[in-house]
Amino acid sequence: MVYGFQRSPKGLFVPSPGGLPGFQRQGLDQRKKSTDLAPAFGPGSVGPQWSGGGGKFNVVVNAAVSGAVANAFMYLPKAIKPLSGAWYWEVQVYGSGSWALIGIADNILNPGFYMGYSSINYGWYNSGPAAWAKSPATGGDLTGFAAMGAGDTLGVLYNSNTATLSFLLNNVYSGTSDTTGIASNPMYPTVAIQIGAVTSFDVRFGAGNTKYSLPNGFKHYGT
């Protein structure tokens, strides 16, 4: 039998039953967690920096670098496969966020700018705001919601079973984008940045990292 360890009353570590689950309960399992995903940046992105990890990090768009806030996009490198369930993650913006596009995209490595443009991409477009959707999908409905401001948190809900993308602005439901046409494509969580969009943003995913509670029927992205 494989044993974990527990601390005895005298302060010594002694074997305890439980195997790998025992190690996990005691925080001794050293396997790499799927929430340790580093952000990646698309072709044409200039100047972004990031810090953090383990499912919660901050991306800084360095305006001091020429072109740093023009047509950059960041994505999380674990694809959401078709028919794999319903997934949730969050993005909190700092600065104006005027031209940010937060959502999902396929084919993120295809050369281009601003979430690839040549990719299929969908998201909350913060000018308006509007539910952006590249054809053949329609834009959806965000009626009655103001654009994100500094400090606001956007919860992204992608259901790969029904091919729908929804949003929670500061934990208030804010519409669904009809993502018809993407059901057969792996999709990547993405944040795109046009000129002057944001100074930085937090990305939160994985159990225990998000600001708001997990919506019913959804799982944390990265787990």
Structure tokens of 94?
A: 């700092």
Q: Are 105 and 189 in contact (CB under 8 A)?
A: no
92 close to 150: Cβ distance less than 8 angstroms: no
Alpha-carbon span 132 to 42, nearest angstrom:
19
Please determine, for residue 168, whether its predicted confidence score (pLDDT) is greater than 80.
yes
- Taking residue 164's Cβ as centre, other Cβ atoms within 10 Å add up to 19
Greatest mean pLDDT range, 45-49, 98-102, 182-186:
98-102
The least confident of 26-40, 48-62, 166-180 is 26-40
Q: What are phi and psi of 20, to 5 degrees?
A: -60, -45
Does residue 135 contact residue 118 with C-beta atoms inside 8 Å? Answer: no
Peptide bond into 136 cis (omega under 30): yes
pLDDT band with cut points at 50, 70 and 90 for residue 172: very high
Identify any residues that bridge with 73 across adjacent strands, giving them in sequence order.
192
pLDDT band at 89 (very low <50, low <70, confident <90, very high): very high
106, 182 Cβ separation under 8 angstroms: yes
Residues composing the chain: 223
Q: How far apart are CA 90 and CA 63, in angstroms?
A: 23
Angle at 128 between CA 91 and CA 200, to 5 degrees: 30
